[in-house]
Amino acid sequence: MASSTDIPPPPPEALVDKTALTFLNQAPVCAETPAHALDDAITPVERIYMRNNGRIPTKLDAQGWTLRIDGEVEQALDLSLDALKADFETVTYALQMECAGNGRAFFEAETPGEPWSTGAISCAAWTGVRLADVLARARPTAKAVYTAHYGADGSDEEGYPISRGVPIAKALEPHTLLAWTVNGEPLPIAHGFPLRLVIPGWPASVSHKWLRRIWIRDREHDGPRMLGTAYRMPKRPLRPDEPFTDDDMAVMGPMPVRSLITHPADNAAVPLVHPFEIRGHAWAGERTVARVDVSLDGGRVWEEAELDGPANPYAWQHWRLETVLPSPGEYEVLARATDSEGDTQPIGSAPWNPGGYANNAAHRVVLRAG
């Protein structure tokens, strides 16, 4: 994730009010959300992290906007936003979107890319149409195997900072949306105005912003940030100093299970011997979260938290534990989620990988009692 310093900063209107976020980079604009600022059940727009690979586009015209769908389809389509809204069923879902590099800062050996800690995750309410319904009108051919996404932060002449895609089965999943509204408001420029993909559970890099074209391909897409170590994981464990080839790497699929402690904030003071609530969210790519355990002593003793089901598939799940801190001092609090297949979060760090992806280490905060 090389960041070029010759990309000018975005116009102020692109930024909504993002003062709650921690900026990692201005060019391209990347900012993550502190864990305590993610306490809401539905992430407010001001608190959705921002990840860009190029410049945030400014000349965006919703009136003249068209989405082109072409390639391996019987019927290529050019759809206006009005046509999308009028011709297909509109749905709203709470959908988690997590950057593949979330947690990169916790790898012991450095990797290239933005040093996200825990805040490249959001779960907002997205409104739009199912990509499956739109593709049904285009009628993919028998050779359709993969999508390829293109947005207004690039052009055929100058190239695209990113163009990723998903297997056709993921594109046809009923929670894969073409969205124009977030939390009941039009998309802000920073989050893809006027139209974006929301493909929950996978690296959020496939949820293309400022979406202009979906090319249906007869093979795995090979656009910018599909090859090499970009959004690819080793098929076998690799040591940081070990040589590897392209054949050792495969495109990332669903994100792993993870949880956040959103309250109390890291370093908060908590009244002694007084019951209080530790709470947060947990999510698990395409799976559900089966349990969340909390430790007050750095991982020696664990207690199971109360866990809600998801509001809909791909929504994060809320958890809480009422507890007391019995004596004065510092408490190292950990939360560890386990998914429906029994996979659980590592303590400390997930295994290193060349691109620095999917580090779903258990979240740790320090609380002070006394």
User: Is there binding between residue 3 and ligand MTE (CB under 6 A)?
Assistant: no
User: Is there binding between residue 258 and Mo ion (CB under 5 A)?
Assistant: no
User: Is there binding between residue 214 and ligand MTE (CB under 6 A)?
Assistant: no
Q: For residue 316, which of 32, 94, 46, 37 has the smallest C-alpha distance? A: 94
Q: Residue 359 CB, nearest distance to ligand MTE (Å)?
A: 14
d(CA 343, CA 314): 17
Q: How many other CB atoms sit within 10 Å of the CB of residue 297?
A: 11
Q: Report strand pairing: 363-369 vs 269-270.
A: parallel
Contact flags string 146-185 toward Mo ion, x per CB under 5 A = ----------------------------------------
Closer to Mo ion at the Cβ: 51 or 232?
51
Closer to ligand MTE at the Cβ: 14 or 307?
14
Q: Which of 161, 167, 224, 253 binds ligand MTE (CB under 6 A)?
A: 161
Closer to Mo ion at the Cβ: 205 or 338?
205
Among 46-54, 85-93, 239-247, 290-298, the segment contacting Mo ion (CB under 5 A): 46-54
Closer to Mo ion at the Cβ: 35 or 199?
199
CA 81 to chain centre: 25
Q: Which of 16, 50, 69, 252 binds ligand MTE (CB under 6 A)?
A: 50
Distances (CA, A) of 207 to 70, 96, 100, 269, 271: 18, 11, 12, 38, 43
**In the chain, where does DSSP find H-type helix?**
81-87, 131-138, 168-171
d(CA 353, CA 56): 29
Positions in 84-123 near ligand MTE (CB under 6 A): 99, 122
Q: Which of 33, 53, 259, 360 binds ligand MTE (CB under 6 A)?
A: 53
Closer to ligand MTE at the Cβ: 295 or 353?
353
Residues of the chain by 3-state class (helix, strand, coil), percent to 5 = 10, 35, 55
Phi, psi (degrees; rounded to nearest 5) at 15: -100, -5
- Residue 322 in contact with residue 277, Cβ under 8 Å? yes
Among 38-46, 136-144, 205-213, 312-320, the segment contacting ligand MTE (CB under 6 A): 205-213
d(CA 38, CA 19): 14
Among 50-58, 59-67, 126-134, 250-258, the segment contacting ligand MTE (CB under 6 A): 50-58
Q: Which does 319 bind (CB under 5 to 8 A by kind): ligand MTE, Mo ion, none?
A: none
- Residue 7 in contact with residue 28, Cβ under 8 Å? yes
User: Is there binding between residue 99 and Mo ion (CB under 5 A)?
Assistant: yes
Among 44-52, 233-241, 243-251, 360-368, the segment contacting ligand MTE (CB under 6 A): 44-52
User: Is there binding between residue 151 and ligand MTE (CB under 6 A)?
Assistant: yes
d(CA 246, CA 207): 24
Q: Tell me which residues touch ligand MTE (CB under 6 A).
A: 48-54, 99, 122, 151, 153, 161-162, 191, 204-205, 207-210
